[in-house]
Amino acid sequence: MFTTLIVQPIFNLLVLVYALLPGHNFGLALIIFTIIIRLILWPLVKKQLHQAKAMREMQPEIKRIKKAAKGNRQKESQLLMELYKERGINPIGTFPILIIQFVILIGLYSGLRRVIENPHELISFAYPSLQHMSWMQSLAHDIHRFDNTLFGIVDLGKAALNSGGIYWPAMIIVAASAVAQYYQAKQLMPDDKEQRGLRDILKAANNGKQADQSEINAAVGRSTRYLLPGMIFLFTVNIPSALSLYWLTGGVVAYIQQAYILRQDEEEMEEIADKPGKSVKDIPEAEIVEPAKAAKNPKQGSKKAKRRRKQR
């Protein structure tokens, strides 16, 4: 059932892109396929990014709620649920998109393994409507015409680490996919230099100082931006580089999508702030700058004013 409902449709979408693509380069077809998948998932990705951004900016309020609850877990949970309801946020709203992406990844991996182990699967595992396409019929007569490389440079069937040693073209793709994942995770994390690291929090706890749970969670979240890229590197270094290429392309596209969402939100807040008669309450995610802080950074205020004048 998984093969019929998940693996075969994903595989056939890739085959369709490959068959229609001029030049029929498998690596380029995989890149285009990844972009198509990210565009199809755009509505869910957009919702996920808004949820993640809202959760990130709610951390100060969550911290105040924890202090107000004074260890009363029931009261704390009630206040947190009221806050989530007020902001229209589902704490587990980011999981569906992660599950979908994981299923696509497993389906693509299963399909690619078929082609790598037996190129004839490119024909036999395709839908009958695709088998009748001109290029697919050419491959059926001569499967050696199938080029599973990226522009003739990287053999996508080889792993970065294999029995022959290190395959450097694939190793570059693997390393680049890990770097892309790092910057993708870093992009959504708040840049607060005053926040303590996990090591400092644990050191203070050993000295008898009680650590705030929200601060611990934030420190652990910052640590995952190094953990996840490392896991991706270890996972993809021993498998065909086609999957690493998919991960790299997906990471780059995701970074662009996140940058677009974050910039769009910032522009919307500036437009609301520029409208006459609007109060701070009308700005959904506005950052209130105290007069004392604003006086310390007059250049920052002048830069924002110049940018708004240019937009007008």
Q: Which residue has the tokens 């409507």?
A: 129
Q: What is the pLDDT of residue 217?
A: 56
Could you report the per-residue pLDDT of 142-158, keeping only the tens digit for each? 998 898 889 989 999 88
Q: How many CA atoms lie within 13 A of 261 on its CB side?
A: 22
pLDDT at residue 281 greater than cutoff 60: no
Could you report the per-residue pLDDT of 100-137, keeping only the tens digit for each? 878 888 888 888 888 888 889 889 999 999 999 999 99
Residues 6+ apart with CB under 8 A from 28: 21, 150, 151
Residue 152 CB neighbours (<10 A): 9
Residue 229 CB neighbours (<10 A): 22
Q: What is the pLDDT of residue 133?
A: 93
Q: Where are the beta strands (DSSP E) in the chain?
A: 149-150, 154-155, 161-162, 165-166
Q: What is the pLDDT of residue 177?
A: 92
Q: Which residue has the tokens 């870093």?
A: 186
Question: With 0-12 CB in 10 A as exposed, 13-18 as middle and 19+ as buried, what is 150?
Answer: buried
Q: Are 261 and 49 in contact (CB under 8 A)?
A: yes
Domain boundaries along the sequence of the chain: 2-311
Lowest-pLDDT range of 99-108, 214-223, 260-269? 214-223
Q: Which residue has the tokens 């695709």?
A: 130
Q: What is the pLDDT of residue 192?
A: 53
